[in-house]
Structure 1
């Protein structure tokens, strides 16, 4: 058996307590004899949701020897609310224990720097591997099998049922609905996301007319199965396009016949290096969250890769329309813009409005000559958020998921984590609050003189009369709270630690197998070292006079199975974005290590 590092795992602690354990508090000793995988996640993060999906097969296959524990580590203020974490665990089908760690106590003990991060602890209580980002399912499967064989031979493996206790199922017509659409009939079509269905409601917004889909997670047209569907948009032929989010696909529902067909996607998540255009059924997508018909195309909020894509029903093709896959807030020509988990779309005249959730921003795309340009109305970046009305340049949102065009040319914003409906007026360039006490509003649709809001965490549609005057609220501003890393002035060595997992090697068939992109907030923090390159090590120079900021690091590494007998080995992409708060101080560190995949299972 391979030799591994012997690093004793720290205890698990979190003031929020435990979820999915039947009320029992757990300690590391409770997992002795099992392989324990800690999943550090936060429910706003689409990459974390990807990892939840990646872990499902592993969880089912090794249920008697492996325990997965989610450690919920919040980014936004709303995510520190225990009730919201409980809701998220149900919303996203988390079927393992979750430790709610609102003060990031366990996050700090394990020196985690990014969402998501996976830590593997062997049956004797030692940390044996750590992986940042997504795409590590294959490596985890290999490691888990090795640990199972090793500890069975040593007599230190304990089989049996894990500590997961499912919550009691809740009754109701909807469960964490995502988006809604007003049908020509006057009825509402709602994506009932957690139950993997579409639901048609009568014009009252309450009475169920029909359900579409079996309610079982899956990817089939007959019988109809969805997986956490979200966005809805009417196509020119009268069918409804459906963003089938966790299936990484676009589906079409015909309200006349009830038929469901697949428009785009392979059912597999798009990964770096794969095609970004071509026949729609042959190109993989990544967590499409919303859709809207604009400029003679169906636009797709591709939350999983921080881009906007389009689908052309005439040619049945998809292509990237805006975004680079880098996460952040950068305006300009569409092909150069940066987004951060775009999750809501609304077409209004010459503009496509965008709820860019992770930057807490309202943005838009419009034609500019032969192409499109992206601009920002509200929002400053990944780490500033709150509830502040007034001039758009000073206004703050908190993780908005929905946008709705209003008759007067303004835009309603479902300000999800502020539990509010906000309004941006382009003419006055200001933000007001229309309604509060809406529990996680995720979308809204106009219905005559009313606006009907999807209150996702209240499992209902709520009808509001658009007020003539805005609601006044007390301003609140936040910045993501994570402990700053103290670094020395001047030169700073950045090392992204990556070792190809066991049975794999770096994929150099088509050139460099790694990529590194570095930037900072404020940009003036870096005197040298910003930009793209292929080396995972870089010398940065911190500018004089800037005492603190955030280093944005995006790293990618490609590996393939190391099997000389296989001419077509399976390949894997490991990718992660970090936002590392730093404070420049004498005596600080001169090296900043970030683990993409480290404490490798082959190490000594």
Structure 2
């Protein structure tokens, strides 16, 4: 029997307030209009990969209970750009959201429901009372059980109203490309042409070969209907494909396919034979990967996963890149905040870098933390450049021969909640959710600074022609673009090609002789601040293993808490990573305000809570990240309790 997630107290749900509604045909909804329905409030923001996972997790639930259940997406923006109503409307269209969405840029409804993390789910019963509150992913089974429970109860009471919900589908728009995301130039002949580009036509769930004019579609793979199906080009199905890698001709001849595709929402890698049109699945079983608790806790996170690639669970692969040095495809695994490798010749797949924890920590590949790795590029020295979206960072995995050991280094970026639009010294520069990166022959690196609508340039310290040393600097190449998601150098070497996602096109821009210097400041995610008192502060995170699982004590304490702060001086003591989910902090009364960064983890395995864990039991790592803005006040709280719940 699935554990109930229902709360025991009866608390009246707050009204749904915000700027406007989408997907309602212009109707402004209220809780009163939804009375009689079971409501799931999904507090989300469109930058967040976990939120995108939840959108897909909820789809079968919405279909199964269509006559009694109404999902309401409460869009609660993290980044400044996400508060733009046009950007939100584009995201609702792009992700094919088929339920009403409340635009809540001032976080009015977010505050009313005490949401602290993206995503948060709140269930409201047909009488308008809160039945459950959950954060994170993986709650569908528990939600399904709760919905069944509420249906039975409220049908008996006569308070359940069956029938259509308030969703109104928008008018469809015909376009050649729809929310394209990534592109690669043809560096060898494909289908009789060595010019043009392969493009992930993400919104049409297909891959296209685009002529050099950036308009003419020469070939396409994918039926245009989202799903997963191998086979001929016109019958195959993708689901929001993103990254593309064109294999060297010698490798392609050996393995029987030319292109590797990051089939993001299918959680798979796919292969395309451009000659025959055949599409095949290369890696991924279609089940979203959760971080492997046993491997993580025994520090065996780097290397081959030791299982047939098509039996491995992946998580939202966002970009792919062929590495000649590795003889493999590097994969930006956005969903687990890691880099993977895939060897086309052997079929082997493994973890290349990243612990799987979300954040901004440099160091050896097995120690580094990433945050929604979304763009990849190799420079002439062999260093791997990474657009790390959720930390608004440009990172590099240095692997060239002149360093002692591979290491991850942050070039631009401060943390999960810091962003802005600022050029100049790299340590002070700021970006906003970048998704693409390109390494140029002159050693500079371009970044598709997506939410700033700009192309940025990083140039390391170098010696000019006159012998003077030029310090490292960040500048702006172009701005005014609509969510550029990728950038690449055109064949002529003098122009750039930008994938302008929200304009549904690829565009060329000239490489300027002089670069802009922009300073629109640095900022942090603006959310309500929790009043806290200085001095001793008790932090506690609660966790209950789902029914059918037990905490995994085989390697010691199965729980872990990491705490840090911005600014770091906010914490006089209590920072760092320790076992257990309770921590005593010492808050600095000389700091007026800041952000507490908290990551909690708990490991549990399948098995009877009263018995031993079976030898081959599946183990699960539950993780949640919070950024809690705080303001220091004499009358503030002396404690904070958060909830890390595991519900299957």
* TM-score interval, smaller chain: over 0.9
Other structure's SS at 2:595 match: strand
Superposed, 1:27-426 pairs within 5 Å as 27-183=30-186, 184=188, 185-222=194-231, 223-236=235-248, 237-238=251-252, 239-273=258-292, 277-279=305-307, 280-294=309-323, 295-296=325-326, 297-349=328-380, 350-367=382-399, 371-426=405-460
In structure 2, the CA distance between the partners of 1:593 and 1:380, relative to structure 1 (3 Å rule), is: same
Q: Residue 20 of structure 1 contacts residue 167 of structure 1 at CA under 8 Å; is this kept in 2?
A: yes
Residues of 1 paired with 2:44 and 2:202: CA distance? 20
Query: How far does residue 264 in structure 1 lie from its aligned partner after superposition?
Result: 1.5
Q: Residue 291 of structure 2 contacts residue 620 of structure 2 at CA under 8 Å; is this kept in 1?
A: no
Would you say 1:440 and 2:483 are equivalent positions? yes
Other structure's SS at 1:230 match: strand
Other structure's SS at 2:414 match: coil
Query: How far does residue 3 in structure 1 lie from its aligned partner after superposition?
Result: 7.8
Could you tell me which residue of structure 1 aligns to residue 16 of structure 2? 12
Query: How far does residue 129 in structure 1 lie from its aligned partner after superposition?
Result: 0.7
Superposed, 1:558-597 pairs within 5 Å as 558=604, 574-597=622-645
Residues of 2 paired with 1:589 and 1:37: CA distance? 30
TM-score (norm: length of structure 2): 0.87
Could you tell me which residue of structure 1 aligns to residue 467 of structure 2? none
Could you tell me which residue of structure 1 aligns to residue 500 of structure 2? 455
Residues of 2 paired with 1:324 and 1:522: CA distance? 24
Would you say 1:520 and 2:551 are equivalent positions? no
Q: Residue 7 of structure 2 contacts residue 131 of structure 2 at CA under 8 Å; is this kept in 1?
A: no
Structure with the higher fraction of residues in strand conformation: 1
Structure 1 residue ranges without an equivalent (≥5): none
Larger CA deviation: 288-297 vs 346-355:
288-297
Query: How far does residue 281 in structure 1 lie from its aligned partner after superposition?
Result: 2.0
In structure 2, the CA distance between the partners of 1:583 and 1:12, relative to structure 1 (3 Å rule), is: same
Q: Residue 513 of structure 1 contacts residue 559 of structure 1 at CA under 8 Å; is this kept in 2?
A: no
Residues of 2 paired with 1:34 and 1:504: CA distance? 31
Query: How far does residue 319 in structure 1 lie from its aligned partner after superposition?
Result: 1.5
Query: How far does residue 114 in structure 1 lie from its aligned partner after superposition?
Result: 0.7
Other structure's SS at 1:142 match: helix
Query: How far does residue 561 in structure 1 lie from its aligned partner after superposition?
Result: 8.3
Query: How far does residue 571 in structure 1 lie from its aligned partner after superposition?
Result: 7.3
Q: Residue 318 of structure 2 contacts residue 375 of structure 2 at CA under 8 Å; is this kept in 1?
A: yes
In structure 2, the CA distance between the partners of 1:84 and 1:256, relative to structure 1 (3 Å rule), is: same
Q: Residue 605 of structure 2 contacts residue 617 of structure 2 at CA under 8 Å; is this kept in 1?
A: no
Post-superposition Cα deviations, 1:487-515, rounded to whole Å, max 9, x if no partner, equal 122221112233456x5554447565543
Query: How far does residue 111 in structure 1 lie from its aligned partner after superposition?
Result: 0.7
In structure 2, the CA distance between the partners of 1:547 and 1:506, relative to structure 1 (3 Å rule), is: farther
Q: Residue 134 of structure 1 contacts residue 576 of structure 1 at CA under 8 Å; is this kept in 2?
A: no
Other structure's SS at 2:55 match: helix
Q: Residue 402 of structure 1 contacts residue 443 of structure 1 at CA under 8 Å; is this kept in 2?
A: yes
Residues of 1 paired with 2:91 and 2:379: CA distance? 32
Residues of 2 paired with 1:509 and 1:249: CA distance? 32
Query: How far does residue 456 in structure 1 lie from its aligned partner after superposition?
Result: 0.1
Report the aligned-residue RMSD.
2.5
In structure 2, the CA distance between the partners of 1:467 and 1:478, relative to structure 1 (3 Å rule), is: same
Q: Residue 77 of structure 1 contacts residue 478 of structure 1 at CA under 8 Å; is this kept in 2?
A: no
In structure 2, the CA distance between the partners of 1:509 and 1:471, relative to structure 1 (3 Å rule), is: closer
Query: How far does residue 570 in structure 1 lie from its aligned partner after superposition?
Result: 8.2
Residues of 2 paired with 1:157 and 1:480: CA distance? 39
Aligned length, in residue pairs = 598
Q: Residue 549 of structure 2 contacts residue 609 of structure 2 at CA under 8 Å; is this kept in 1?
A: no
Residues of 2 paired with 1:269 and 1:587: CA distance? 44
Residues of 1 paired with 2:238 and 2:292: CA distance? 27
Residues of 2 paired with 1:506 and 1:563: CA distance? 5
Residues of 2 paired with 1:324 and 1:571: CA distance? 17
Superposed, 1:527-566 pairs within 5 Å as 527-543=572-588, 545-557=590-602, 558=604
Other structure's SS at 1:247 match: coil
Query: How far does residue 529 in structure 1 lie from its aligned partner after superposition?
Result: 2.8
Query: How far does residue 458 in structure 1 lie from its aligned partner after superposition?
Result: 0.3
In structure 2, the CA distance between the partners of 1:142 and 1:559, relative to structure 1 (3 Å rule), is: farther
In structure 2, the CA distance between the partners of 1:358 and 1:91, relative to structure 1 (3 Å rule), is: same
Other structure's SS at 2:89 match: helix
Q: Which has the higher contact order (CA 8 A, sep 6+)?
A: 1
Other structure's SS at 1:336 match: coil
Residues of 2 paired with 1:153 and 1:559: CA distance? 38
Query: How far does residue 379 in structure 1 lie from its aligned partner after superposition?
Result: 1.4
